[in-house]
Amino acid sequence: MIFNQEIIKPENLVYTKTKVLTDNVMHYCPGCGHGRIHRIVAEVIEEMGIQDKAICIAPVGCSVLAYNYFNVDSLGAAHGRAPALATAIQRLYPDNHVFTYQGDGDLAAIGTAETMHACNRGENIVIIFVNNGIYGMTGGQMAPTTLIGMKTATSPYGRDIHLHGYPLRITELLADLPGTYFITRQSVHTPAAVRKAKKAVEMAFQNQKNKKGTSFIEIVSNCNSGWKMSAPDANKWMEENMFPKYPIGDIKVDGVKVSK
Amino acid sequence: MTEEIIIAGFGGQGVLSMGKILAYSGAMQDKEVSWMPSYGPEMRGGTANVSVIISDERISSPIISQFDTAIILNQQSLDKFEHSVKPGGVLLYDPNGITKLPTRKDINIYKVAATEKSAEMGMVKTFNMMVLGAFLKVKPVVTEEYIEKGLKKSLPERHHKLIPDNLKAVEIGKEIVETIQTV
Amino acid sequence: MAKELKLMKGNEAIAEAAIRSGCDGYFGYPITPQSEVMEYLMLEKPWERTGMVVLQAESEVSSINMVYGGAGAGKKVMTSSSSPGISLMQEGLTYLAGAELPCLVVNVVRGGPGLGTIQPSQADYFQATKGGGHGDYQLFVLAPASVQEMYDFVFDAWDIAFKYRNPVMILSDGAIGQVMEKLYVGDYVPRWTEEQIHENAPWAAFGKPATRDHNIITSLELDSAKEEIHNQKLQAKYREMERNEVRFEEINCEDAEYIFVAYGSSARIAQKAIQLGREKGIKVGLLRPITLFPFPTKRLGELSKQVKGMLSVEMSAGQMVTDVRLAAENRCKVEHYGRFGGMIPTPHEVLEAMETKIINA
């Protein structure tokens, strides 16, 4: 019989939460990828020893309160404008580590111009782009990345290309811009995927340290609430439906597109 | 003394820069000055005009609609501004391209054939300074010494070698100005 | 302070003042009639001299959000634009006001509505002084009437912005932006060092030292009871501005029976109209509000007891006149005279309006 008191004895601890995350209880739905993505970003910041240099730009969307969880100086941006804030701050503080944390609606719909132009200027920032194909916070409306046929609150009969246009693969578009240095697409739905995603985040912040230009990490994630599925089903659905449209893997490394 | 001037012509005739040199010269001579360009669609190759005020007192409005002097370099500008010259004021024009002469009887009218003269002398680039010379002959609101200082201040350093040519053009302008009518 | 004489456009004076006042960053987007601000900065390359960052953004929306970022990080940052561009910035401005960020926004106003004209106008008074974006907020609004004031007010703007943690707007117009006048410039004020930023803007997000909790810049508050308290704090700040920061200029008001109330270019025109009026024996003066928010309500109230009438002269359909009427509280006649869409009234017109609308009415 093992008691709680024994489990939490220092010698029995196998894992501690990084200090770059606060003790605030996250508001994310159970099974959502945001918690894991927050954790790997925070761990990289801690491991690189850049907590005092890191500045987080939070979006509007499910991660609007990201600044309550990242224990770094933070700013909440207007919807879609995070890359504009990041541009200014990184230029004003060139040795800091400014990163944006944005969802698909924020980054690929309302903030398309800011995203494209920050990347095109090769701003020395890190962009974490969480793509779950839906507007989570506002209650499950269609996003630019919503798949064809996918049902949402504003595409109740499924996304129809004649009515809504096509899913936007903004990550591939950004890879065409000379300003982007590192572009990758990852996921966090299995332990192996989490480890790979964390490596990508680390590479992004290393690039930034070496002033290489824009590093952009898309993380294809689930939204079991918005998709109206259990968390395991959502992950399975993501593998079967999201990954074919948004394939996992590096797209551009060291400024060179990866040949497929 | 307050002198309110409009300079008007085609874009490319050096209207704005003539006004600028005049304003700079006035400023060098410790006068109050303002330079207010027309701006906008007409900036792109159409007509250009600038109003310049040189005064011994603080200038109230830099935006003026009545002028002590109108310096006119094309027909459109003559049509537009002849009636805005204050009674007893001055209208100075270059006859090149002018087909409808000024008709006012209550103003002083002068002519300077600067287009023709500058072409004849191979000094097309200092055409506007000839016109300025003509104006200064009629209305010596700034002295020559300050024109040189104004040129130095308004031209970038790399163009300072052109100052003697500009001053020569001012002199020629003074010589060739003709009186048409005085009141 | 050593004073150096220059001859400059109002727009160039804004740019020169930015460099000399220790501005850290300018973010803008071209629009007539204020493009000379960024053109001048790009030509001057202040990043080589003072370290000031200058960037042409992809839109006004982006510029104002760059300003939000820089301001949130404790830097002296600014943008400039003209009316249609300022409309695009309203979202950013309400966020800046909500998050209580100091910054400078210059509006060189042109005729509207819509794309309108590119000639001078004062039709953005309501937008500048009554909020403009959503929510209850105020910008601090300075109205320069000369190239010298365009320059000087940039320096003043930083003091006010950081004193109150509030966006400051310089509300100018196409005429003041485009006119070239004599300008006396002073010494360079150095940009703040990192230590000075930490001391003057301890609330800013510039990177969290181990010794303090993380700073968060946001205008979001999910708890409406807390948001009400935040609003009360903002309102208290605006009342403090009204108590401490009202600025105006009076010309010939001592014996005036009638006064013009006018700011910016219109005040210059009204000044000329005073000369014409006095020549005709009319005792006329001018009150020129220099701060449009806070408005010189108190002084206008006093003058309303002295004079027989006030004419608000604006290049608009009559916006500031509402504030003049509130100040006069029916103690004297208050009327408006204006031209719109980029048309500029003449001094004769203005004097005539005083005669027909006030004196002989």
For chain B, the three-class secondary structure string (H helix, E strand, C coil) is CEEEEEEEEECCCCHHHHHHHHHHHHHHCCCEEEEEECCCHHHCCCEEEEEEEEECCCCCCCCCCCEEEEEECCHHHHHHHHHHEEEEEEEEECCCCCCCCCCCCCCEEEECCHHHHHHHCCCHHHHHHHHHHHHHHHCCCCCHHHHHHHHHHHCCHHHHHHHHHHHHHHHHHHHHCEEEECC
CA C28 vs. chain centroid, Å, equals 17
Q: How many CB atoms lie within 10 A of CB A254?
A: 11
Which domains, from first to last, does chain B contain?
2-181 (3.40.920.10)
In this predicted structure, what is the pLDDT of residue A9? 83
CB A81 to CB C216 under 8 A?
no
CB A64 to CB C75 under 8 A?
no
In the structure, what pLDDT confidence band is assigned to residue C206 with cuts at 50, 70 and 90? very high
pLDDT at B41 over 70: no
Q: What is the mean pLDDT of the segment spanning A134-144?
A: 94
In this predicted structure, what is the pLDDT of residue B63? 86
Q: What is the mean pLDDT of the segment spanning B150-169?
A: 92
pLDDT at B115 over 90: yes
Distance from CA of B36 to the nearest CA of C (A): 4
C11: contact with B, CB 8 A cutoff? no
CB C265 to CB B154 under 8 A?
no
C313/B183 Cα distance (integer angstroms) = 37
Residues of C in contact with A52 (CB under 8 A): 207-210
pLDDT at C246 over 80: yes
Query: Can you name the CATH fold of A29-257?
Result: Rossmann fold (3.40.50)
- Burial class from Cβ neighbours inside 10 Å (0-12, 13-18, 19+) for residue C198 reads middle
Distance from CA of C71 to the nearest CA of B (A): 33
Q: Are C24 and C46 in contact (CB under 8 A)?
A: no
Q: What is the mean pLDDT of the segment spanning B102-112?
A: 97
Please tell me which of the candidates C5, C7, C268 has its beta carbon nearest to residue B62. Answer: C268
Q: Which class would CATH give C4-196?
A: alpha beta
In the structure, what pLDDT confidence band is assigned to residue A14 with cuts at 50, 70 and 90? confident
Q: Are C285 and C251 in contact (CB under 8 A)?
A: yes
CA A161 vs. chain centroid, Å, equals 26
Query: Looking at chain B, which subunits does it touch, using at least 3 CB pairs closer than 8 Å as the criterion?
Result: C
Residues of A in contact with C27 (CB under 8 A): 88
Please tell me which of the candidates C27, C58, C207 has its beta carbon nearest to residue A73. Answer: C207
Closest residue by Cα to residue B136 from B123, B125, B148, B124:
B148
Number of CB pairs, chain A paired with chain C, less than 8 A apart? 132
Contacts of C254 (CB under 8 A, 6+ apart): C285
pLDDT at B61 over 90: no
Q: Are C332 and C310 in contact (CB under 8 A)?
A: yes
Closest residue by Cα to residue B66 from B85, B88, B40:
B85
What single-letter DSSP state applies at residue C120? B
CB C272 to CB B27 under 8 A?
no
pLDDT tens for residues C121-173?
999 999 999 989 999 999 999 999 999 999 999 999 999 999 999 999 999 99
Contacts of B55 (CB under 8 A, 6+ apart): B1, B2, B3, B31, B32, B33
In the structure, what pLDDT confidence band is assigned to residue C248 with cuts at 50, 70 and 90? very high
Identify the CATH assignment for C248-359 out of 3.40.50.620, 3.20.10.10, 3.40.50.12780, 3.40.50.920: 3.40.50.920
In this predicted structure, what is the pLDDT of residue A12? 82
In this predicted structure, what is the pLDDT of residue B154? 85
Within 123-142 of B, beta carbons closer than 8 Å to C belong to none
Distance from CA of A77 to the nearest CA of C (A): 7
Please tell me which of the candidates C27, C62, C214 has its beta carbon nearest to residue A114. Answer: C62
On the question of a common fold for C4-196 and C248-359, the answer reads: yes
pLDDT tens for residues B124-140?
989 999 999 999 999 99
B160/C112 Cα distance (integer angstroms) = 43
Here the tokens at position A166 are 């096509």
Here the tokens at position B137 are 């002959």
pLDDT at A1 over 80: no
CB B36 to CB C268 under 8 A?
no
3 state SS of A79: coil
Q: How many residues in chain C?
A: 361
Q: What is the mean pLDDT of the segment spanning A45-49?
A: 98
Distance from CA of B51 to the nearest CA of C (A): 9
pLDDT at B11 over 90: no
Tell me what percent of the residues of chain A surpass a pLDDT of 70. Answer: 99
Beta strands in chain C (DSSP E): 4-9, 25-28, 53-56, 77-81, 103-109, 140-142, 167-173, 180-185, 216-217, 248-251, 258-261, 284-289, 291-293, 309-314, 333-338
Give the residue on C whose Cα is nearest the Cα of A82.
C65
In the structure, what pLDDT confidence band is assigned to residue B60 with cuts at 50, 70 and 90? confident
Q: Are C35 and C63 in contact (CB under 8 A)?
A: no
Q: What is the mean pLDDT of the segment spanning A41-55?
A: 98
β-pair partners for A156: none
In this predicted structure, what is the pLDDT of residue B65? 87
- Burial class from Cβ neighbours inside 10 Å (0-12, 13-18, 19+) for residue C236 reads exposed
CB C57 to CB A84 under 8 A?
yes
Between C181 and B42, residue with greater pLDDT: C181
Considering the entire predicted model, what is its pTM? 0.94
In this predicted structure, what is the pLDDT of residue A3? 75
B61: contact with C, CB 8 A cutoff? yes
A33/A222 Cα distance (integer angstroms) = 6
B59: contact with C, CB 8 A cutoff? yes
How far is residue A157 from each of residues A95, A151, A173, measured CA to CA in Å? 49, 6, 28
B in contact with A (at least 3 C-beta pairs within 8 A): no
Please tell me which of the candidates A51, A74, A78 has its beta carbon nearest to residue C205. Answer: A74
CB C58 to CB A114 under 8 A?
yes
Please tell me which of the candidates C118, C175, C346 has its beta carbon nearest to residue B62. Answer: C175
Q: Where are the domains of chain C?
A: 4-196, 248-359
Here the tokens at position C32 are 């007539």
Q: Are A94 and A125 in contact (CB under 8 A)?
A: no
Query: Looking at chain C, which subunits does it touch, using at least 3 CB pairs closer than 8 Å as the criterion?
Result: A, B
Closest residue by Cα to residue C295 from C338, C330, C326:
C326
CB B23 to CB C178 under 8 A?
no
Torsion C123-C128-C130-C132 (CA) sign: positive
Q: Which residues of C touch A (CB under 8 A)?
A: 24-25, 27, 53, 55, 57-59, 61-63, 65-70, 72-73, 75, 77, 91-92, 95, 99, 204-210, 214-220
Between C41 and B38, residue with greater pLDDT: C41
Mean pLDDT of the residues in chain A: 96
CB C216 to CB A52 under 8 A?
no
- Residue of A81, A90, A97, A110 to mutate when probing chain C, most C C-beta within 10 A: A81
In this predicted structure, what is the pLDDT of residue B42? 47
Mean pLDDT of the residues in chain C: 97
CA A232 vs. chain centroid, Å, equals 20
CB B61 to CB C179 under 8 A?
no
Query: A20-44 burial string, b = 16+ CB within 10 Å, else e?
Result: bbbeeebebbebbbbebbbbbbbbb
Q: What is the mean pLDDT of the segment spanning C21-41?
A: 97
Here the tokens at position C187 are 């010494």
In this predicted structure, what is the pLDDT of residue C174? 95
Contacts of A178 (CB under 8 A, 6+ apart): A120, A122, A255
- Burial class from Cβ neighbours inside 10 Å (0-12, 13-18, 19+) for residue A99 reads buried
Q: How many CB atoms lie within 10 A of CB B160?
A: 11
Strand-strand pairing, A214-220 and A180-187: parallel
pLDDT at A48 over 50: yes
Distance from CA of C252 to the nearest CA of B (A): 13
Residues of A in contact with C25 (CB under 8 A): 88, 91-92
Quick one: angle between helices A112-120 and A82-92, nearest 10? 30
Distance from CA of C348 to the nearest CA of B (A): 10
Q: Are B24 and B153 in contact (CB under 8 A)?
A: yes
- ipTM over 0.90? The verdict is yes
Quick one: angle between helices C10-20 and C36-44, nearest 10? 40
Please tell me which of the candidates B36, B39, B60 has its beta carbon nearest to residue C271. Answer: B60
B in contact with C (at least 3 C-beta pairs within 8 A): yes
Distance from CA of A140 to the nearest CA of C (A): 20
Q: Are C294 and C246 in contact (CB under 8 A)?
A: yes
